[in-house]
Structure 1
Amino acid sequence: MLIYYQNPENLKGVSQMSDARLGRTFFRNAIHGSRLYLLLAVLVTSLVATGYVWAQKTVTITVDDAVYNIKTTKSYVRDCLKQAGIELGPQDAVNLALDEKLTKGAKIEVYRGGPVTIKADGKTIAVVMAKATVEDAVKGAGIVLGDLDRTVPDRATGFKPGMEIRVIRVTEKIEYRESPIAYPVEKRADDTLEKGLTHVVQAGHNGMKREKVRVRYEDGQPINTVVEEEQTISPPQPEILVVGADDMVHTSRGTVRFSRVMEMEATAYLPTDG
């Protein structure tokens, strides 16, 4: 059996080399660990930022005649309104449920509530409500609007507390009417008749026509009539009038041309007339 003995000096060198290697290994491991921590930090930050961007939504809020576009990470309508600083009164209403989850591009409309007076069918109704338009307010009061009915203000006008709304009932009817056709007058010049004189050769007579008309009524009163069809029952007979064209007067002193004829009455007075 052979036993080898190491020189102590050699062992010392080996020990020094091992310490150096351990130092380099530790340094490399430390650098590697730092890089790993840095990478993890960047990854976490990126995930957080991505999650924030993904959770952020653009929402449109319409309230008090103003429109706001806001960015929010809130999940519910109630929280979004609170973030925007919009307070709801006990009579106000919102087009979406307050506990409804928000989606990207959501449109929130806040309707301010209050008293409103509606006049319809001879009655006056006073109610408290919150609606989007005049039409919504009228329907909310239990009043049915026909297709032709109109309101003042117009149906599409935005609702405001304290406003007065009038409902006008509109109907249309088809009616048939007979009416006269006025006869025309035809004038014919006659050189054998003195200028200024006329003579009726043919008497005129009115004709008759039948019309189909559409009549528009508002609250029972006719306001407009449109003739849709017209049929002549009997044509009118024109009046034929002969008009004198002779502007020459023949007298014992010769022929005189005149421009017009005037009828005059002459009177005379004597000194003895009382």
Structure 2
Amino acid sequence: MKSKSKFKIIIVVGMLLGVVFGAKAFFSEGELIQGSIESEKKVICDDDGMVFEVRTKAKFVKDFLDEQKIEIGKKDYISMPEDAVLYSNSIISILRSKKITVFDGDIKKEYETFFSDMQNFFWSNNIKLAEFDIVDPEISTPIYNKMEIEIIRVEIREEVKNEQIKFKTVSEDDSDMGWREEKVIQKGENGTKKIEYEVVYYNDKEISRKIKNSEIIKEPTEKIIKKGTYVKIGKAHKGLASWYAQPSHLKSAFPSLTGYYAANPWLPKGSYVKVTNKNSGDSIIARINDRGPFGPGRIIDLDKTAFSAIASLGAGVVDVKMEEILN
């Protein structure tokens, strides 16, 4: 009986000692946790990709945000509630809501995103890029709030067109025909050329066109004209030629085949004369469409263009032979 009573006493004493030491251990652990909360600690903050490490005595997340002057927008995401307790090595992650404007061709659209890179932003919004599309700014540029992104849709097309090759006109002189006569002896026909282009379009607007290949399908046919050169000369006159700037309305009244005009006191308007510089031998054919000159020894007043074809305008007057043309 005595041994059993002893045993019971030993058990009770052991239980009491366990309670005492357990309580001590419990309060010691609480003090450790409390000390960890109140002491300076290391906190890692990832603010939308900008990572920094801070030593702080802030107890709660809100205290830490106030201390670091970090504002959280209504649409921003933070990984820890603001009333959460901070411990050493706590990690706070913040994702910023960013407003993005995308100009996709002719379409403008507004977006909001947490992503900081364009590739994920495009993927999340089902914006697909073709091989040659251009993104401005470059796709590697980090996304920021109120960013504007332009997408230029680039298309490279192969196009084939048939184009005309214009025929050439060839003149042949014929001394048996009068100088004002001409005759078509071969009709000209345009040719055809097939051209393959590489055409670049930006948002359906053509930017560049490059020839990749060309092939002549039909050669052009030259137009051949026989022009008469025979000038039938009539009465010849010798004297001085002067020049003046002839009004355009006179030229329209009597159009000249040669483009040269002149005034004469007596020859019929509309008639032609051959005028030769006696010193140089240079000559032209001009059409009479005005009256004059009336100075002594002067037989013809050439338009400025006609005079400059046989003499320098600075000469003022030159000695010429004027021959009437009969055909």
TM-score band by shorter chain is: 0.3 to 0.5
Normalising by the residue count of structure 2, what TM-score does the alignment of the two structures yield?
0.41
Higher strand share: 2
Normalising by the residue count of structure 1, what TM-score does the alignment of the two structures yield?
0.48
